[in-house]
A and B are shown apart, each in its own frame.
Chain A
């Protein structure tokens, strides 16, 4: 929604560079992770997901890395474009139900 980026840390990158957005998750029992992108005035948009039996998954221009040892998730965006400017959230799924826990988010700002 609007102002979703307020109070969030900001990552500023040059257009064309690669971006790395990091997320520390909280529960070692989490077994499914998702990255979302949220633009101003819109709902979160699914980017990529990964299950705990994997440590890397690639999509179009994006790669997610999972390090279960230190409970760390990262999203790499190759050749960052102005359209990548948004707030990015990680989310983790724990337990038998389907409730996700979302991180607070990071604002990605792409400099032209």
Chain B
């Protein structure tokens, strides 16, 4: 799994509660990404980071925020979870443009 740890692996939460997912890497890669995967939609980019404290939005960023205070950690926060955010969330890392992304094993989030 290319030294990527996602936590928690599973979470059930109620609508309106805040949720933070964590991605930790041991590869010292510059780029980190958060994707969500839903049946019929494939992988969609939420946010990404191109360095410590440097982040940008992806195609489905509404309702999500991220932070990267250290190279190895990239946090995804749902400020107020909604049922539409029920999904499997994947973190990925890469060491630069033109290098493949390597993915963690995902976090399954259920918002009830």
Question: A1-60: which have CB < 8 Å to B?
Answer: 1-4, 6-7, 31-32, 34, 36, 41-46, 49, 51
Contact B58 A93 (CB under 8 A): no
CB neighbours of A41 from chain B (8 A): 105
Rounded to whole angstroms, the CA-CA distance of A43 and B31 in the bound complex is 17
**Contact mask A61-95 → B, CB, 8 Å, 1/0?**
00000000000000000000000000001010100
Is B103 engaged at the interface, CB distance under 8 Å to the other chain? yes
Q: Give, as a whole number of angstroms, the nearest-CB distance from A80 to chain B.
A: 23
Residue among B42, B50, B97, B105 making CB contact with A43, cutoff 8 Å: B105
Residue among A43, A96, A97 making CB contact with B90, cutoff 8 Å: A43
* Interface size range of chain B in the complex: 20 to 34
**Contact mask B71-99 → A, CB, 8 Å, 1/0?**
00000000000000000101010101111
Residue among A4, A43, A51, A99 making CB contact with B103, cutoff 8 Å: A43
- Closest partner residue, chain A, to B91 (CB atom): A43
Rounded to whole angstroms, the CA-CA distance of A51 and B97 in the bound complex is 12
CB neighbours of B97 from chain A (8 A): 32, 93, 96-98
Rounded to whole angstroms, the CA-CA distance of A31 and B105 in the bound complex is 27
Rounded to whole angstroms, the CA-CA distance of A1 and B37 in the bound complex is 8
- Offer 11 A-B interface pairs, CB within 8 angstroms, sorted by A: A1-B88, A1-B90, A4-B37, A6-B40, A34-B100, A42-B105, A43-B90, A97-B50, A97-B56, A98-B98, A100-B45
The 10 closest A-B pairs by CB, nearest first: A1-B88, A43-B103, A6-B39, A102-B43, A98-B97, A7-B40, A104-B42, A46-B100, A43-B105, A44-B103
